[in-house]
A and B are shown apart, each in its own frame.
Chain A
Amino acid sequence: MGQTVGVDAVEAMGMRVQLTDGQLVARCRAGDQEAWAELVERFSRYVYAIAVQAFKLPEHDAEDVFQEVFARAYEHLHKLRDDDAIRPWLAQLTRRLCIDRLRASVHEQPEDSIEATDVDDRIATLDESMAVHDALAILPDGCRDILDRFFARDESYRTIGEALELPSGTIASRISRCLAKLRLELEGRNPEAAAS
């Protein structure tokens, strides 16, 4: 059996380590407030995207749902049967609260009907995005930052160049190289699928 190295030891060596979802939940349940902050950070985009993209809630409704999801998660974290299942649990919670919100708003104004299959497809895509995002977290800071700024934050080359103190003429090539690294990282996680 190989020797295992603890998370703290790895961190002490200056290497970036990403807690698994299950480890993060366990730390939250133990009252670790930094872990809670990391959990919110890790899933905030996911919950936000489900509310705004999949269910197309207006911002004020999405904000209420967002806060309610994390409040309920905080209160009921001990009820989670499988710590590693936090993401589907949050997705289900968000979905339920979005539906409640849409039903409540039906009386106020006619709504565009949202097909369950559309929502399912959209959430499936967001799950894929989360997997890519997880891989992004492992990349070196420079790559993580530049890809997040360009794709997720929709920043221009100029803005990125100013923020990261890089010549804007090099941004495109850096993005391309970082995407290649990201792809390699994903393939490394699943070499059989990459070869097929």
Chain B
Amino acid sequence: MSVGERVTGYNEEQLGELLSALPPAPDAWVQAATELPLARQRLEEIVERAKADERYRRQVVAYPEAALEQAEVVAHAQNVEIIRRRLDDK
């Protein structure tokens, strides 16, 4: 039985229960995920600048969180890891 077939068999109370099962994720989480393309673009800019400027590269490697915050990118673990990985490639 497909999902479509199952849901048509429900009464209004059951529909309400199914709607209740999907509360919204916290706004900040959704916003961070929504801004991923912009964040990735800014990460690229940091990496490109670091590759062209050795002094800046050392700063970023030492304090990646600060570089991310300066670029207005959320400094969560995954973004820090991306920066480290990309600059280790050099």
Taking Cβ atoms with an 8 Å cutoff, the residues of A that contact B are: 31, 33, 36-37, 40-41, 44-49, 53, 63-64, 66-68, 70-71, 74, 125-133, 135-136, 147-148, 150-154, 176, 179-180, 182-183, 186-187, 189-190, 193-194
Q: Which residues of B contact A67 (CB under 8 A)?
A: 29, 32-33, 76, 78
On chain B, the number of residues with a Cβ less than 8 Å from chain A's Cβ atoms is 33
Q: Which residues of A contact B10 (CB under 8 A)?
A: 183
Quick check: A190 and B76 within 8 Å, CB to CB?
no
Residue-wise, chain B 8-47 has the 8 Å CB interface mask toward A (1 for contact) of: 1111100110111111111001101110111010000000
Known: A63-B26, A128-B18, A154-B20. 4 other contacts (CB 8 A): A126-B22, A130-B3, A136-B19, A190-B8
**A46 — nearest CB in chain B belongs to which residue?**
B22
Q: Which residues of A contact B19 (CB under 8 A)?
A: 129, 132-133, 136, 147-148, 151-152
**A193 — nearest CB in chain B belongs to which residue?**
B5
Quick check: B5 and A41 within 8 Å, CB to CB?
no
Identify the interface centre among A49, A127, A150, A152: most chain B CB within 10 Å of its CB.
A152
Q: Assess A36 versus B8: contact at CB under 8 Å? Given A129-B18, A132-B18, A133-B22.
A: no
**A28 — nearest CB in chain B belongs to which residue?**
B37
Q: Which residues of B contact A194 (CB under 8 A)?
A: 8
Contact of B77 with A by CB under 8 A: yes
Q: Which residues of A contact B25 (CB under 8 A)?
A: 44-45, 47-48, 66
Q: Which residues of B contact A179 (CB under 8 A)?
A: 12, 15-16
Contact of B55 with A by CB under 8 A: no
Query: Bound state CA distance, A150 and B21, in angstroms?
Result: 12
Quick check: B23 and A154 within 8 Å, CB to CB?
yes
Quick check: A63 and B29 within 8 Å, CB to CB?
yes
Give min CB distance, A50 to chain B, whole Å. 11
Quick check: A64 and B77 within 8 Å, CB to CB?
yes
Q: Which residues of A contact B20 (CB under 8 A)?
A: 151-152, 154
- Partner of B4 from A36, A150, A176, A190 at Cβ < 8 Å: A190
Give min CB distance, A138 to chain B, whole Å. 14
Contact of B90 with A by CB under 8 A: no
